[in-house]
Amino acid sequence: ELKVEQNPLFLSMQEGKNYTIYCNYSTTSDRLYWYRQDPGKSLESLFVLLSNGAVKQEGRLMASLDTKARLSTLHITAAVHDLSATYFCAVVRNTGKLIFGQGTTLQVKP
C-alpha cells in the first residue's frame, strides 16, 4: 500500500526565513504534485513534478523530486505572510488517483 508522509506537519516561521517541507512516499511513482489549500478553500495546484531531478520554481517556492530516494521537497525562500496555508504533496497511482500526504500547515509570522 502506498503511503505518503510529510514532515513537518506544522511549521511556524518568521517572515524572511527559509525552510523546507519534505514529502516521502513508499513505492515508485512517475509523478508528484504539490497543492496549496487556504482555510475553507479548495486545493490549488502549485507544481507537477514528472521525472527524477525535476525542479520547478514559482516565486518564493521551489519544488524538487528525487525518485530514487522517493523524496520531494518544497523549499520556501524568504517567507512572507501570504504563504501561510496548508501544503499537500500527492503521488499519482495506477489510474491517476492521488494519494495525499497529511499536509503541512505553514504559519508565517511578521
Nearest distance, CB of residue 29 and another protein, angstroms: 11
- Identify which of residues 48 and 62 has a Cβ nearer to another protein in the complex: 48
Helix, strand, or coil (residue 12): strand
Binding interface with another protein (CB under 8 A): 31, 33, 35, 41-45, 48, 88, 90, 92, 94-103
Nearest distance, CB of residue 100 and another protein, angstroms: 4
Nearest distance, CB of residue 91 and another protein, angstroms: 11
- Identify which of residues 11 and 79 has a Cβ nearer to another protein in the complex: 11
From the list 49, 79, 82, 77, the residue with the least C-alpha distance to 65 is 49
91's CB contacts (< 8 A; 6+ apart) are 2, 4, 25, 29, 31, 32, 33, 98, 99
- Identify which of residues 51 and 94 has a Cβ nearer to another protein in the complex: 94
Helix (H) or strand (E) holding 22: strand 19-25
